[in-house]
Chains A and B, each alone.
Chain A
Amino acid sequence: MTSIGTGYDLANSIFSPDGRNFQVEYAMKAVENGSTSIGIRCKDGIVLAAEKVITSKLLKQGANKRIATVDRHLGIVYSGMIPDGRHFVDRARDEARGWRDNYKTPISTKDLAGRMGGYMQAYTLYQSVRPFGITAIIGGYDSELDTPVEGEVGSGPSVGAGGKVEGKKHGGPFLYMVEPSGLYWGYYGAATGKGRQAAKAELEKLDLSSDGESSLTLEQAVKEAARIIYVAHDDNKDKEFELEMTWISGADGPTKGRHQEVPEALRKEAEKYAERMTAKDIEEEEETKEGGDKMEE
Chain B
Amino acid sequence: MFRNNYDNDSVTFSPQGRIFQVEYAAEAVKQGSVVVGIASKTHAVLVAIKRNAEELSSYQKKLFPIDEHVGIAIAGLTSDARVLSNFMKQQSLGHRLTYGRNMPVRTLVDMIGSKAQINTQHYGKRPYGVGLLVAGVDDHGPHLFEFQPSGMTEEMVAFAIGARSQMARTYLEKNLEAFADCGREELIRHGLKALKESLVQDRELTIDNTSVAIVGVEKQEDGTTKPQPFMVYDGQDVSAWIESVADNQEAAPAAAEGEGMDVDS
A residues contacting B by CB (< 8 A) are 1-2, 4-5, 9-12, 22-23, 26-33, 56-60, 63-64, 81-84, 86-87, 90, 123, 127-133
Give chain B residues whose Cβ lies under 8 Å from the Cβ of A10.
Answer: 5-6, 12
Say yes or no for B154: interface residue by CB 8 A criterion. Answer: yes
* Interface residues as binary, B97-134 with A (CB distance below 8 Å gives 1, 0 otherwise): 00000000000001001101110111110000000000
Contact of A86 among B15, B110, B122 (CB under 8 A): B110
Give chain B residues whose Cβ lies under 8 Å from the Cβ of A12.
Answer: 11-12
Give chain A residues whose Cβ lies under 8 Å from the Cβ of B124.
Answer: 128
- Are B157 and A58 in contact (CB-based, < 8 A)? yes
- Chain A nearest CB from B167 CB (Å) reads 14
- Are A29 and B17 in contact (CB-based, < 8 A)? yes
- Are A57 and B11 in contact (CB-based, < 8 A)? no
- Chain B nearest CB from A36 CB (Å) reads 16
Compute how far the CA of A84 lies from the CA of B116 in the bound complex, rounded to whole angstroms: 10
For residues 171 through 224 of chain B, which have their beta carbon under 8 Å from a beta carbon of chain A?
A: 172-173, 176
Give chain A residues whose Cβ lies under 8 Å from the Cβ of B6.
Answer: 10
- Beyond A30-B13, A123-B121, 9 additional pairs, beta carbon < 8 A: A11-B12, A56-B169, A58-B159, A59-B154, A59-B156, A60-B39, A86-B151, A87-B121, A133-B13
Compute how far the CA of A86 lies from the CA of B17 in the bound complex, rounded to whole angstroms: 18
Provide the main secondary structure of the chain A interface. loop
Contact of B117 among A5, A27, A84 (CB under 8 A): A84
- Are B11 and A128 in contact (CB-based, < 8 A)? yes
Compute how far the CA of A133 lies from the CA of B62 in the bound complex, rounded to whole angstroms: 33
Can you list 24 A-B contacts (CB < 8 A)?
A1-B15, A2-B15, A9-B15, A12-B11, A23-B13, A26-B16, A27-B13, A33-B17, A58-B157, A59-B155, A63-B155, A64-B155, A81-B150, A83-B120, A83-B152, A84-B117, A86-B110, A87-B114, A87-B151, A90-B114, A128-B123, A128-B124, A129-B122, A129-B123
- Chain B nearest CB from A150 CB (Å) reads 23
B residues contacting A by CB (< 8 A) are 5-6, 10-19, 39, 110, 113-114, 116-118, 120-124, 144, 150-152, 154-159, 169, 172-173, 176
- Nearest to A80 among chain B residues (CB) is B17
Q: What number of A-B contacts does a CB cutoff of 8 Å give?
A: 103
- Chain A nearest CB from B95 CB (Å) reads 17
Q: With A60-B157, A64-B154 in contact, is A130–B11 under 8 Å at CB?
A: yes
Give chain B residues whose Cβ lies under 8 Å from the Cβ of A87.
Answer: 114, 117-118, 121, 151
Q: With A59-B156, A60-B155, A63-B155 in contact, is A133–B17 under 8 Å at CB?
A: yes
Compute how far the CA of A57 lies from the CA of B177 in the bound complex, rounded to whole angstroms: 11
Give chain B residues whose Cβ lies under 8 Å from the Cβ of A123.
Answer: 121
Compute how far the CA of A93 lies from the CA of B17 in the bound complex, rounded to whole angstroms: 27
Compute how far the CA of A203 lies from the CA of B99 in the bound complex, rounded to whole angstroms: 46
Give chain A residues whose Cβ lies under 8 Å from the Cβ of B5.
Answer: 10
Give chain A residues whose Cβ lies under 8 Å from the Cβ of B13.
Answer: 23, 26-27, 29-30, 130-131, 133
- Are A84 and B15 in contact (CB-based, < 8 A)? no
- Are A57 and B176 in contact (CB-based, < 8 A)? yes
- Are A32 and B176 in contact (CB-based, < 8 A)? no
Give chain A residues whose Cβ lies under 8 Å from the Cβ of B156.
Answer: 56, 58-60
Give chain A residues whose Cβ lies under 8 Å from the Cβ of B11.
Answer: 11-12, 127-130
- Chain A nearest CB from B25 CB (Å) reads 12
Give chain B residues whose Cβ lies under 8 Å from the Cβ of A83.
Answer: 113, 116-117, 120, 150-152
Q: With A10-B5, A10-B12, A83-B120 in contact, is A59–B157 under 8 Å at CB?
A: yes
- Chain A nearest CB from B3 CB (Å) reads 12
Contact of A29 among B16, B114, B120, B121 (CB under 8 A): B16
Compute how far the CA of A194 lies from the CA of B17 in the bound complex, rounded to whole angstroms: 13
